[in-house]
Amino acid sequence: MNNKTDSREKMIEAASRLFQLQGYHATGLNEILRESQAPKGSLYYYFPNGKEELALSAIELASNIIQNKIKASLSLHSDPILAIQNVIKDMKIAIDKDGKLQNVSLSLLALETYLSSETLREACKNSFINLENIYAAKLMESGMTLQAAQNLGMVIQAMIEGAISISITKKDTTTLSAVADQISVIISQYNAIKT
């Protein structure tokens, strides 16, 4: 990687980390430049449309990291119940360790920007849909129909995102544990319907 590309990537990584930890509006461009150690002029060179364009790249980076972590965690078990519970366990460990959302969820960015930036709202929406589809694909591997898997993937994603927000707010991951416990009930009920 050359220095120019390196500066761009460092800015995206710093922005992604800061936006996830303290929010979009609370993070200034000077702070991102300081964190990334990028030259001041490089910001508008790489992101001529400013903060929103940088945030879009930061969301894409975080989204890819989150998706890859979930796919890796799901791949450790063929049983979708155990696989999804494993994902939740990994999230619980990350939140218990740091108490932060970095590379766990884009909820903070989504909630903060949905009214102020259609571009960022759309990027967060696409990330959430991709996560729903990852869960749905795992469910289909076990023989669940496309429609049932898509519906359940959406429900699982909603339950996990809600549990993450509550866990962060309470500073207690009991809610994530409760969701993990309910995954077996929900998937078993779906499987009972199809037989």
* Dist CA 29 CA 149 (whole Å): 41
CATH class label, 3-194: mainly alpha
pLDDT at 114: 87
* Contacts of residue 88, Cβ cutoff 8 Å, sequence gap at least 6: 160, 163, 176, 177, 179, 180, 183
* Dist CA 21 CA 31 (whole Å): 13
Q: What values do phi and psi take at 106, rounded to 5?
A: -100, 15
The amino acid present at 26, given as its one-letter code, is A
Structure tokens at 165: 């927000």
pLDDT at 109: 84
160 by Cβ neighbours in 10 Å (0-12 / 13-18 / 19+) ranks as buried
In order along its 195 residues, the chain shows pLDDT tens digits of 555 568 899 999 999 999 988 889 999 999 999 999 998 888 989 999 999 999 999 999 999 999 999 999 999 999 999 999 999 999 999 999 877 777 888 888 888 888 889 999 999 999 999 999 999 999 999 999 999 999 999 999 999 999 999 998 999 999 999 999 999 999 988 877 765
* Dist CA 16 CA 44 (whole Å): 17
pLDDT at 101: 74
pLDDT at 5: 65
- Do 83 and 73 meet the contact criterion of CB atoms below 8 Å apart? yes
- Do 134 and 74 meet the contact criterion of CB atoms below 8 Å apart? yes
